[in-house]
């Protein structure tokens, strides 16, 4: 990666692979379908007797999920003022988010505060100021993989919750395809942006050790990775780059490791349907209580 990953999560190349992954996986659609079932009831509980609502998005990427969450919150409390703070390390993804806000009419009156930095740097900045803004709802969608210390990160963000607030962590489910791949090849993969393989199992174990109250909701998702086995497919290359968090899958590993990863993706992380290789991309939505 061309830049310090603690300053920005994705450079332009990684951001392109991320967008390719989102297009192929349908991850955001699966997440949003689940959240439409979970969040309205949660928002009603969170917002009881509150005259304003403050939201924090951490690692929000291009904002596709955040915008939908804010829209749900607005529809639940149409007359309550809302503020939103966004922590995101990628300039490109932040620009994408701002463009999305600009063409979403219902968000025009919501004040956004943009923090172009990593989660760790945001935590340092907040602690250095000593004036911690509190939030009613904090969302961390598929970003908890990137933090250095899981327990410290959860403890910090849970401490930012207002009375009756919720911290929402969305992460790959235990024994999903990602989990199997990264646990099997942890030595080869967990060396750059992601140093510790994490799934819902690790997050829940951490919450239990911290004595925090939580609830877990499953979010089923699968997608077609057949193109990963066609070396001439650019889409396949982008998916492999993102699944392994490398800028170039074919140049990053020995032939033996490449073959082993491809074999695992074909035979242990999926089901086959009509000759297509379907990846297990199941996720978990974990709601941590204030």
Q: What is the pLDDT along the chain (290 residues), one digit of tens a residue?
A: 233 334 344 455 566 677 777 776 767 777 788 888 899 999 999 998 899 999 999 999 889 889 999 999 999 999 999 999 999 988 988 999 999 999 999 888 899 999 999 999 999 999 998 878 999 999 999 888 888 899 999 999 999 999 999 999 999 999 999 899 999 998 888 776 666 678 999 999 999 999 999 999 998 888 899 999 999 999 899 899 988 888 889 999 999 999 999 999 998 877 877 889 999 999 999 999 99
State the Cα torsion 122-87-249-178 to the nearest 10°.
100
What residues does each domain of the chain span? 12-175+192-222+283-289
Closest CA to 284 of 179, 182, 160: 179
What is the pTM (predicted TM-score) of this model?
A: 0.86
User: In terms of residues, how long is the chain?
Assistant: 290
HSE (CB half, 13 Å, CA atoms) of 43? 23
Residue 195: count of CB within 10 angstroms of its CB:
14
Closest CA to 60 of 33, 39, 31: 31
- Cα(first)–Cα(last) distance of the chain, in Å? 36
Residue 276: count of CB within 10 angstroms of its CB:
12
The C-alpha angle 85, 86, 88, rounded to 5 degrees, equals: 160
38 φ, ψ to 5°? Answer: -90, -45
Report in angstroms the alpha-carbon separations of 57 from 112, 176, 197, 200: 11, 25, 22, 19
- 12-175+192-222+283-289 has which CATH code? 3.40.50.150
């Amino acid at each position: 990666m061309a830049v310090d990953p603690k300053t920005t999560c994705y450079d332009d190349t990684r951001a392109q692979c991320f967008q390719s992954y989102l297009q192929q996986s349908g991850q955001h659609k699966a997440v949003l379908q689940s959240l439409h079932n979970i969040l309205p009831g949660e928002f009603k509980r969170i917002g009881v007797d509150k005259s304003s609502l403050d939201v924090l998005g951490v690692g929000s990427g291009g904002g596709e999920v955040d915008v939908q969450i804010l829209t749900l919150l607005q529809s639940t409390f149409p007359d309550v003022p809302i503020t939103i703070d966004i922590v995101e390390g990628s300039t490109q993804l932040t620009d994408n988010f701002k463009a999305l806000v600009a063409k979403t009419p219902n968000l025009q009156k919501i004040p956004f505060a943009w923090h172009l930095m990593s989660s760790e740097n945001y935590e340092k900045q907040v602690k250095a100021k000593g004036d911690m803004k509190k939030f009613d709802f904090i969302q961390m969608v598929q970003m908890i993989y990137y933090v250095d210390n899981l327990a410290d990160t959860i403890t910090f963000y849970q401490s930012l919750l207002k009375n009756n607030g919720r911290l929402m962590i969305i992460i790959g489910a235990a024994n999903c395809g990602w989990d199997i791949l990264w646990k099997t090849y942890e030595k080869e993969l967990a060396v750059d942006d992601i140093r510790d393989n994490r799934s819902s199992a690790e997050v829940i174990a951490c919450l239990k050790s911290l004595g925090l109250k939580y609830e877990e909701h499953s979010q089923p998702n699968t997608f077609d990775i057949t193109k990963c086995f066609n070396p001439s497919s650019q889409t396949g290359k982008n998916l492999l780059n993102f699944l392994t968090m490398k800028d170039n899958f074919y140049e990053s590993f020995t032939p033996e490791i490449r073959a082993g990863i491809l074999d695992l993706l074909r035979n242990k992380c999926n089901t086959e349907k009509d000759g297509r290789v379907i990846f297990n991309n199941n996720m978990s939505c974990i709601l941590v209580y204030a």
